[in-house]
Amino acid sequence: CRNLVLILGDQLTPSLSSLRAADRAMDRVLFVEAHEETTYVRHHKKKIAFVLSAMRHFAEELRRIGWSVDYVKLEDEGNTGSFRGEVERACRRLSPQKIVVTEPGEWRVLEDMKTWQAASGLPVDILDDTRFLCSRAEFRAWASGRKQLRMEHFYRDMRQKTGLLMDDGKPAGGRWNYDADNRKPARADLFMPEPPRFSPDPVTVEVLTLVERRFTDHIGTLRPFWFAVTRAEAEKAFDAFLDHALADFGTYQDAMLKGEKFLYHAVVSAYLNAGLLDPLDLCRKAVAAYQKGAAPLNAVEGFIRQIIGWREYVRGIYWLKMPDYAASNGLGASRPLPDFYWTGDTDMLCMAEAIGQTIGDAYAHHIQRLMVTGNFALLAGIDPQEVHEWYLAVYADAYEWVELPNTLGMSQFADGGLLASKPYMSSGNYINKMSDYCGSCPYEVKARNGADACPFNALYWDFLARHKQSMKNNPRLGQAYAVWNKMDGEKREALRESAAIFLKRLDEKQKV
């Protein structure tokens, strides 16, 4: 063949830059199921099954429209288990003149790709990933010379750039942000839309059998497997969100309810990140729903902010700050990740719910990730590297470019406040306000200290006390420190002692 075009498991997009640069008649497309990719963290079984099945379906789709495709399955004879090994093997087989790839989503893979030219003696073209609205170079230009890299400023530029919800250069409705109308707790008797479930076809069934056999020691329940694995199915899932959930997306964005995994969330991140859905297309459809009166502005603005704002912004930060970013540990946290993150075996009901559904479906919504599992790890001083590996492994939507800044920056405040102006942390009070968990929890959310008290309470104050030196001047923590400073000494001592007892139990691996 003329060129060898390698497509990665999160590049399943017909308009991918490498495919656009290729010629059906002369070039060969290569897909590789790589042992290294399936195990560089111990991904959730459903995540592996999703990626492999979606890859196989996409390869078939390309074949159908006339591409020549080489597809190396995980257990094919001779599979070397790595991208590099398989590219070398394909070069020997096909004698291409050039290797063409779209830049990968992870730094480690890009570094590897940079060595391929020397190793193979062939030119390697690494093309921009044009599926993002803001290229790496554009983000770098946006960031240069700024003292603070605030998402809100970036987001406004992206609104201008895309014209989404803009009227003559001004934000629709007169404001950029409608969060004041959002973030209400939900009631359990509300109508809850469920994301559509797709039955595994023979291709998926084969993958499920493979995953079941090969990845027994990975986290997660494999069946029932209900994810979309093709573009057509993913589009159906998004249409269902538009029809049944978008209108209430904003209002209940931060709510949590027992047994309700999805509430009014879109549940499309795995599809978006793998390339089955296009971010701008989703935003345009959401805006169209607003324009025809099917969804209010607070919902639609909130939704597009997550995609053209947060999603693009964290990617920009990732590429701007890697590789040093991955090692950041600004708070010096070093406690090992408790085992119950892998099993859900804890009395804390909020944690058991978030972890339990994560094990079941490789999904938890944003506030569960940020204010339950993330909040706990932050307050308990868990080593951010271990927290990062956990988030990267357990969620079907997790790739380092999006997971790392969310975990180290937004959730663990390990990057020294680059991404978030204050740590996202709370006592049990916030969880109680936003959920119905606490009523069924053996811990008492209103109690501040003592064996039965909600652990988040003492840990919250203990965290503030531990980090007083570095955080007391943060204006956004002024109120919390004012309360702490006014508290009488005995109360403070009792809180710190309660936290110490809890952390000791954690360290001794007692059930908490």
Which letter does DSSP use for residue 15 in this model? Answer: T
385-444 binders of ligand DLZ (CB under 6 A): 399
User: Considering the rule CB under 6 A, would residue 103 count as an interface residue with ligand FAD?
Assistant: no
24-83 binders of ligand DLZ (CB under 6 A): 32-34, 37-38, 43, 48, 51
Kindly state the smallest distance separating residue 170's Cβ from ligand FAD, in Å. Answer: 24
Which one, 133 or 495, has the nearer CB to ligand SF4?
495
Centre a 10 Å sphere on the Cβ of residue 425 and count the other Cβ atoms it contains: 22
Residues in contact with ligand SF4 by the rule CB under 6 A: 348-350, 428, 431-432, 437-438, 441, 443, 445, 454-456
- For residue 224, whether the previous peptide bond is cis, meaning omega lies within 30 degrees of 0, is yes
Which one, 27 or 400, has the nearer CB to ligand FAD?
400
Greatest extent of the chain over all pairs of C-alpha atoms, in Å: 79
Kindly state the smallest distance separating residue 270's Cβ from ligand FAD, in Å. Answer: 8
User: Considering the rule CB under 6 A, would residue 395 count as an interface residue with ligand FAD?
Assistant: yes
Q: How far apart are CA 217 and CA 212, in angstroms?
A: 10
226-285 binders of ligand FAD (CB under 6 A): 265-269, 272-273
Contact of residue 443 among ligand SF4, ligand DLZ, ligand FAD, none (CB under 5-8 Å per partner type): ligand SF4
Which one, 5 or 371, has the nearer CB to ligand FAD?
371
304-333 binders of ligand FAD (CB under 6 A): 306-307, 310-311, 314
# binding residues, ligand DLZ (CB under 6 A): 16
Q: Which residues contact 315 (CB under 8 A, 6 or more apart)?
A: 132, 134, 139, 401, 402
Kindly state the smallest distance separating residue 375's Cβ from ligand FAD, in Å. Answer: 9
Kindly state the smallest distance separating residue 245's Cβ from ligand FAD, in Å. Answer: 8
Question: What is each CA distance from 362 to 272, 424, 438, 497, in whole angstroms?
Answer: 15, 23, 23, 36
Question: What is each CA distance from 176 to 156, 291, 300, 306, 335, in whole angstroms?
Answer: 7, 17, 12, 13, 40
Contact of residue 33 among ligand DLZ, ligand SF4, ligand FAD, none (CB under 5-8 Å per partner type): ligand DLZ
Kindly state the smallest distance separating residue 235's Cβ from ligand FAD, in Å. Answer: 14
Among 175, 366, 433, 472, binds ligand FAD (CB under 6 A): 366
Question: What is each CA distance from 184 to 70, 242, 249, in whole angstroms?
Answer: 50, 20, 11
Q: Which residues contact 425 (CB under 8 A, 6 or more apart)?
A: 375, 378, 379, 460, 463
Contact of residue 349 among ligand SF4, ligand DLZ, ligand FAD, none (CB under 5-8 Å per partner type): ligand SF4
User: φ, ψ for residue 77 (rounded to 5)?
Assistant: -60, 135
Centre a 10 Å sphere on the Cβ of residue 121 and count the other Cβ atoms it contains: 8
Which three-class secondary structure state does DSSP give residue 374? Answer: helix
Kindly state the smallest distance separating residue 36's Cβ from ligand DLZ, in Å. Answer: 8
3-22 binders of ligand DLZ (CB under 6 A): 8-10
Which one, 204 or 406, has the nearer CB to ligand FAD?
406
Kindly state the smallest distance separating residue 248's Cβ from ligand DLZ, in Å. Answer: 32
Which three-class secondary structure state does DSSP give residue 100? Answer: strand
Question: What is each CA distance from 19 to 4, 25, 69, in whole angstroms?
Answer: 10, 12, 12
Q: What share of the chain is helix, strand, coil (3-state, %, to 5)?
A: 55, 5, 40
Which one, 107 or 460, has the nearer CB to ligand SF4?
460
Kindly state the smallest distance separating residue 444's Cβ from ligand SF4, in Å. Answer: 7
Q: How far apart are CA 447 and CA 457, in angstroms?
A: 8
β-bridge mates for residue 453, sequence order: 444
Which three-class secondary structure state does DSSP give residue 455? Answer: helix
Which one, 124 or 431, has the nearer CB to ligand DLZ?
124
Q: Using CB atoms within 10 Å of the CB of residue 226, give its burial: 0 to 12 exposed, 13 to 18 middle, 19+ buried.
A: middle
Kindly state the smallest distance separating residue 184's Cβ from ligand DLZ, in Å. Answer: 35
8 Å CB contact between 193 and 245: yes
Kindly state the smallest distance separating residue 38's Cβ from ligand DLZ, in Å. Answer: 4
Question: What is each CA distance from 337 to 45, 321, 388, 430, in whole angstroms?
Answer: 20, 25, 10, 23
CA dihedral 201, 207, 210, 214 (to 10 degrees): -140
Which letter does DSSP use for residue 418 in this model? Answer: S
Contact of residue 18 among ligand FAD, ligand SF4, ligand DLZ, none (CB under 5-8 Å per partner type): none
Kindly state the smallest distance separating residue 322's Cβ from ligand DLZ, in Å. Answer: 12
Which one, 42 or 231, has the nearer CB to ligand DLZ?
42
Contact of residue 438 among ligand SF4, ligand FAD, ligand DLZ, none (CB under 5-8 Å per partner type): ligand SF4
Q: Which residue has the tokens 């978006």?
A: 272
User: Considering the rule CB under 6 A, would residue 211 count as an interface residue with ligand DLZ?
Assistant: no
CA-derived radius of gyration, the chain: 24
User: Considering the rule CB under 6 A, would residue 406 count as an interface residue with ligand FAD?
Assistant: yes
Among 365, 448, 466, 467, binds ligand FAD (CB under 6 A): 365
User: Considering the rule CB under 6 A, would residue 105 count as an interface residue with ligand DLZ?
Assistant: yes
Kindly state the smallest distance separating residue 268's Cβ from ligand FAD, in Å. Answer: 5
**Footprint of ligand FAD on this chain (CB under 6 A)?**
265-269, 272-273, 306-307, 310-311, 314, 365-366, 369-370, 374, 391, 395, 397-398, 402-403, 406-407, 410-411
Q: Which residues bind ligand DLZ (CB under 6 A)?
A: 8-10, 32-34, 37-38, 43, 48, 51, 104-106, 109, 399
